[in-house]
């Protein structure tokens, strides 16, 4: 794994760790860097120097060096960099020139999502096009296709929920069909109209794709689907007569997590015009919630039943601030090793079990008059 110029791995190991202790003395490593030409990527060399300078005991774990060289940065290495003096010698990514279109986009994503310069450098160096951020793209494409199919079939592109045939879709969550479990997820593919679809698609592409590029498909899909499920379950508890359509639960989970991460790491975020962009995002999200409340309680046209609830927006935001913030702050660190992660998971599972029992028993016990399902 290690290859320093004309030195073999064993030569390098003897020079770095002559006593075979598993640790590298700072002076040995610094001397090798200063007196021999290393065939290392400059960004990795910067991180190695930062790791050496951050250690107060005057030694560096040889295994951490191996993991860096093999592109497997451990959480202990990351903490050493984060807690140390982090003397990084290269110019910041924003000043690099001569990059191709894709690398410029990667640089933009790094500054948009990550608050730490070391993390940005690492992501910029390690980023690969494969696997691509496919989850958010696939969800958006399916939502557009479903909307267009119903728009053509019903010849209606706005306020589709006022069309009785639209609410007969097997994808819509309706309290009268709550025994059909898939509806607690599938409602995210249906939308009230063109304006709701456009707002959700724009937000989840602008925020979701960069988040997925940095944090991976598993974490972002988990966050998105947790917001979707929390949205339908919250409606089934707090607004028991209302149906639900739209992907707002997942979208608001992504947006609130990103905005909370920006606020928590305000000094380290280098995305341009961050204050103006945050204000615009909050205004747009608040306007969408206000519009959903208006449609729920004061619909502009008479309809055959209650209009879709707005509670999915709020529950998605709660999921984003709780679960999502921890996911975004734990870049390249194992969530399973963090106590706070298990607290959040336990809380979500508790809410899930409560919602299941509520949907089984509470409607009959409370005598809720559910409008007949379409």
We report the CATH number of the domain holding residue 35 as 1.10.238
Identify the three-state secondary structure at position 185.
helix
278 and 351 assigned to the same domain: yes
**For 12-58, how does the pLDDT look when each residue is reduced to its tens digit (9 = 90+)?**
556 666 666 666 776 666 666 665 555 555 556 666 666 665 555 66
- Residues 317 and 253: beta-carbon distance below 8 Å: yes
| pLDDT of 51 | 61
**For 195-221, how does the pLDDT look when each residue is reduced to its tens digit (9 = 90+)?**
899 999 999 999 999 999 999 999 999
84 and 159 assigned to the same domain: no
Question: The pTM is what?
Answer: 0.79
| pLDDT of 70 | 58
Buried/exposed 134-166: b ≥16 CB within 10 Å, e otherwise: ebbeebbeebeebbeebbeeeebeebbbbbeeb
Could you tell me if residue 373 is inside a domain?
no
347 and 224 assigned to the same domain: yes
253, exposed or middle or buried, with CB in 10 Å at 0-12, 13-18, 19+?
buried
Could you tell me if residue 127 is inside a domain?
no
| pLDDT of 126 | 75
| pLDDT of 64 | 61
DSSP 311: H
| Tokens read off for 183 | 């509806």
Instruction: Round to whole Å and give the CA distance between 66 and 74.
Output: 10
What residues make up the domain containing 284?
A: 135-366
Instruction: Round to whole Å and give the CA distance between 21 and 371.
Output: 73
Say how many domains are in the chain: 2
64 and 170 assigned to the same domain: no
| pLDDT of 270 | 83
pLDDT band (50, 70, 90) for residue 115: confident
71 and 157 assigned to the same domain: no
pLDDT of 329 > 90? The answer is no
288 and 198 assigned to the same domain: yes
More confident site: 63 or 162: 162
Could you tell me if residue 145 is inside a domain?
yes
Return the residue matching tokens 């306020």: 159
Instruction: Round to whole Å and give the CA distance between 86 and 80.
Output: 9
| pLDDT of 84 | 44
| Tokens read off for 73 | 């940065």
Residue 236 designated active-site: no
Phi/psi at 214 (5° precision): -85, -45
**For 220-272, how does the pLDDT look when each residue is reduced to its tens digit (9 = 90+)?**
999 999 999 999 999 999 999 899 999 999 999 999 999 999 998 888 888 88
pLDDT band (50, 70, 90) for residue 88: very low
83 and 232 assigned to the same domain: no
Instruction: Round to whole Å and give the CA distance between 123 and 100.
Output: 16
| pLDDT of 121 | 79
CATH number of the domain at 164, please: 1.20.1540.10
175 and 38 assigned to the same domain: no
What's the whole-number mean pLDDT along residues 350-357?
96
Q: Catalytic pick from 186, 232, 248, 322?
A: 248
Q: Catalytic pick from 191, 215, 258, 313?
A: 313
Could you tell me if residue 126 is inside a domain?
no
| pLDDT of 312 | 94
| pLDDT of 212 | 94
333 and 262 assigned to the same domain: yes
Crossing angle of helices 62-69 and 42-54, in 10° steps, is 160
| pLDDT of 1 | 35
Identify the three-state secondary structure at position 127.
coil
Residue 35 designated active-site: no
| pLDDT of 334 | 81
């Amino acid at each position: 794994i290690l290859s320093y110029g004309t030195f073999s791995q064993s030569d390098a190991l003897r020079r770095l760790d002559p006593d075979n202790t598993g640790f590298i003395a700072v002076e040995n490593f610094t001397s090798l860097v200063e007196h021999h030409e290393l065939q290392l990527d400059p960004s990795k060399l910067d991180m190695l120097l930062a790791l050496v300078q951050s250690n107060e005991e005057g030694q560096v774990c040889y295994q951490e060096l191996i993991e860096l060289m093999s592109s497997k940065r451990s959480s202990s290495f990351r903490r050493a960099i984060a807690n140390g003096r982090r003397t990084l010698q290269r110019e910041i990514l924003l000043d690099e020139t001569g990059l191709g279109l894709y690398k410029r986009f990667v640089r933009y994503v790094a500054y948009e999502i990550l608050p730490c310069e070391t993390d940005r450098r690492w992501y910029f160096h390690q980023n690969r096009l494969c696997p691509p951020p496919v989850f958010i793209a696939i969800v958006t494409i399916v939502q557009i296709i479903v909307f267009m199919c119903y728009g053509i079939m019903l010849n209606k592109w706005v306020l589709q929920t006022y069309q009785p045939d639209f609410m007969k879709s097997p994808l819509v969550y309706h309290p009268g069909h709550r025994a059909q479990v898939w509806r607690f997820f599938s409602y995210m593919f249906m939308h009230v109209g063109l304006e709701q679809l456009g707002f959700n698609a724009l937000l989840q592409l602008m925020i979701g794709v960069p988040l997925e590029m940095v944090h991976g498909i598993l974490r972002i899909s988990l966050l998105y689907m947790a917001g979707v499920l929390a949205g339908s379950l919250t409606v089934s508890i707090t607004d028991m007569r209302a149906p639900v359509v739209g992907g707002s639960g997942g979208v608001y989970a992504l947006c609130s997590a990103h905005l909370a991460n920006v606020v928590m790491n305000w000094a380290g975020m280098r995305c341009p015009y961050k204050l103006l962009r945050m204000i615009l995002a909050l205004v747009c999200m608040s306007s969408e919630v206000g519009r959903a409340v208006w449609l729920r309680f004061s619909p502009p046209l008479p309809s055959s039943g209650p209009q879709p609830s707005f509670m999915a927006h709020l529950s998605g935001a709660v999921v984003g601030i709780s679960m999502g913030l921890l996911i975004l702050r734990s870049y390249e660190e194992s969530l399973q090793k963090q106590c706070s992660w298990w607290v959040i998971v336990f809380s979500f599972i508790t809410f899930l079990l409560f919602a299941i029992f509520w949907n089984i028993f509470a409607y009959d016990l409370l005598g809720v008059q559910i409008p007949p399902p379409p």
